[in-house]
Amino acid sequence: MKILLTGSTGYIGRRLLPVLVQNGHHVVCMVRDQRRFDHGDFSADFMKNVTLVEADLTEPKSLGNLPSDIDAAYYLVHSLTNTSSSFHSMELETARNFIDYLDKTKARQLIYLGGIANDAALSAHLESRRAVGDVLQSSSVPVTILRAAIIIGSGSASFEIVRDLVEKLPVMVAPKWIGTKCQPIGIRNVIEYLNGVLGNKQCLRRVFDIGGPDILTYKAMMLEFAKMRGLKRYILTVPVLTPRLSSLWLYFVTSTSFALARNLVDSMRNEVICEDSSIKEFIPLELYTYKETLEMAFSRISQKNIVSSWKDAILNDDFDKNFLDFVEVPEHGCMKDRKAIPFDRPKEEVIRNIWTIGGERGWYYGNYLWKTRGFLDQLVGGVGLRRGRRSPTDLKAGDALDFWRVLLADEKTGRLLLYAEMKLPGEAWLEFKIKEAENHHVLVQTATFRPRGIWGRMYWYLLVPAHLAIFSRMARNIVKS
């Protein structure tokens, strides 16, 4: 079959794509920017069964680039991290644009992954998910809707937030929504369902709830997580935390953005439990328990094999969606701090040091200063250092790296280019390069800042002393470590 896959660079899409190709399908991946698709993850033979097409669901004309001879399509698009008050109308608009295109194709099935929405009074996010499903069902193409509860897996938002809360806080004073019931499902089962309904005539024009075998409160989920990790944790519930205070609590304690925290808290008042489990009749699966999904997630983490992460999403509203447009570092109107450190050890060792920067390892010098800068960024609504990194050893374009975004990661040549996503009066890049010299190599580390007005220039000059202390020693330690 020829399948159109939207959201192919997202958390679900990255995991579904290999399954579809392995099953003999040709997959057309709709991407806003082909540079965001990481070819390094796949072999040349694999890519023979993949076609990349640039299109943007917010721009109907661009959908003319998509093929009309597709057999099926997956709609894996959502705006959970969007901070715009109009995200509901934006989601409906993109869904309408998509079915306008789809109705002109030869497609025989559309598959949509949404959220369980059985309560009468839904959160804005769950209401938007339900409304998108309604729009997609107006298509002439038969639709299959899978409505998932909380998805648990390495790199998933739910898993990482529970992990942050449990591992950071021995005692938690939690809001009352911690007693809300949910039915978590493992990412492996989600992918199996998405693959299983494809081409299944019994699943056409049907809406299915999908969840795991356990029905748990959020409190029970955290305590089970703590038990598995050998941690003793105490959770106290208080009724006085407003939704905004609850959002701020999640924002400062976990690696989530405030926008995501706000949407999650708003949705956590709704129970997400399967009411219609008839999908089991058509797709019988071994459903993994919550404990088993945690074990599988940590197995992936221990093997340094996290395929995708929710943190790959852009979290800074001021950051252009096409972040790879920033790969060319500007030369004019910029302030720069350049350090060149010669070394005679194998360059592969220094490249490995560059490739493990940030996250738990830190920044080679002045980690307390980096943490202070991250905390200050959080206070003004920035991402801070909480995101860490997807893998302790691997980097690819698009990865979140603390409060940076990876623009380019060429391990062969030793070039790593980062773009700042913290709140700044300007734009900032941090670049590492390995250059060849006679009888030795040179690490070139360059911090570039393009100020926005007089406040941007004042910001740079105020930080000159800190740059002198941090950047030179950081570069030297990368070479020596």
The single-letter DSSP state of residue 471 is H
10 Å Cβ neighbour count for 231?
Answer: 13
Lowest mean pLDDT across 197-206, 264-273, 368-377, 397-406: 264-273
Which residue, among 408, 423, 428, 404, has the nearest Cα to 337 in the 3D structure? Answer: 428
pLDDT classification of 343: cutoffs 50, 70, 90: very high
Give me the mean pLDDT over the 428-453 stretch.
Answer: 89
pLDDT, mean over the chain: 83
Q: Is 333 left (phi over 0), alpha (psi -120 to 50) or beta?
A: left
pLDDT in tens, 296-316: 888 776 555 455 554 555 444
The single-letter DSSP state of residue 63 is G
The pLDDT value recorded for residue 262 is: 67
pLDDT in tens, 314-338: 444 444 445 455 566 777 778 889 9
Tokens of 23: 């099953």
Give me the mean pLDDT over the 47-57 stretch.
Answer: 90
The pLDDT value recorded for residue 455 is: 87
The pLDDT value recorded for residue 98 is: 93
The pLDDT value recorded for residue 259 is: 65
**Higher pLDDT residue, 210 or 168?**
210
The pLDDT value recorded for residue 41 is: 66
- Long-range contact pairs involving 248-252 (C-beta distance under 8 Å, separation at least 24): 249/175, 250/161, 251/378, 252/378
pLDDT in tens, 67-77: 999 999 999 98
Give me the mean pLDDT over the 130-144 stretch.
Answer: 91
Model confidence, pTM: 0.70
Which residues are within 8 A (CB) of 357 and not within 5 positions of it... i.e. 6 or more apart? 363, 364, 401, 416, 478
Give me the mean pLDDT over the 110-130 stretch.
Answer: 80
**Higher pLDDT residue, 282 or 247?**
282
pLDDT classification of 183: cutoffs 50, 70, 90: very high
The pLDDT value recorded for residue 340 is: 93
pLDDT classification of 84: cutoffs 50, 70, 90: very low
Which residues are within 8 A (CB) of 119 and not within 5 positions of it... i.e. 6 or more apart? 126, 270, 271
Tokens of 354: 């560059």
